[in-house]
Amino acid sequence: METRRITVLSAGLGVPSSTRLLADQLAAAATRELAAAGYEVTTDVVELRELAVDIANNFVTGFAPPRLAEVIAGVESSDGIIAVSPVFSASYSGLFKSFIDVLDPKSLDGKAALLGATGGTDRHQMVLDHAMRPLFSYLRTRTAATAVFAGPQDWGNADDGGTPLSARIERAAAEFSSLLEGDQPGRRPAVLESLPFEQLLAGISAGGNAN
């Protein structure tokens, strides 16, 4: 069974966070879709607020602290990215953009991406098409056609006449999952492990003895 690795980026600042809630629901829906298609899924959820200091230090020193370096490596080795940000000043949050800025601009090239955002009013949903989608287009991701915005009215309410949040999530997850089927152009080859010199020498000696 083939495996697909998904990194979920949540830029929510509060605890609990509606941004994290949306990210979790998108990830769960994508996992169900991929499992139905015969894939095994591993998901790594990253709370960017926990990396805020490390991200700032990376800008100052030019080096990523160990935990941030681990997250960056995870993003680079993922097949797909689910990215969800709260809306601030009609755009994604500064924390979200700062994390994107510490990535190698080429590291997301060809990866599947699913975008989401949360905000206090429906007027903020335009951030998906006017801010987040252009950003991920610049990064050359293969982005799902449907992006998901969730406002206060979407959490635990009755039908307001629009498309329910759950239906939007399922549609976006299905599109995202279809991008993850088959060959993955954004997958980076595994880094070859460096063996200790003694082990390499032992292998050479064994080869020589076989003759």
SS3 state at 4: strand
Where residue 51 sits, what CATH number does that domain have?
3.40.50.360
Q: Are 44 and 5 in contact (CB under 8 A)?
A: yes
d(CA 30, CA 25): 9
* Per-residue confidence in pLDDT tens, the chain, 211 aa: 899 999 999 999 988 899 999 999 999 999 999 999 999 999 999 999 999 999 999 999 999 999 999 999 999 999 999 999 999 988 999 999 999 999 998 999 999 999 999 998 777 889 999 999 999 999 999 999 999 999 988 876 545 556 799 999 999 999 999 999 987 676 665 444 444 555 545 555 555 554 4
String of DSSP letters for 20-86: HHHHHHHHHHHHHHHHHTT-EEEEEEEEGGGGHHHHHHHHHHSS--HHHHHHHHHHHH-SEEEEEEE
What lies within 8 Å, CB to CB, of 67 at 6+ separation is 51, 54
Side chain identity at residue 38, one-letter code: G
Which domain covers residue 8, as residue numbers? 3-210
Number of domains comprising the chain: 1
Going 125 to 127 to 130 to 132, the CA torsion angle's sign is negative
Quote the tokens at residue 64.
Answer: 């990523």
Q: Model's pTM, two decimal places? A: 0.84
Structure confidence at residue 102 (pLDDT): 96
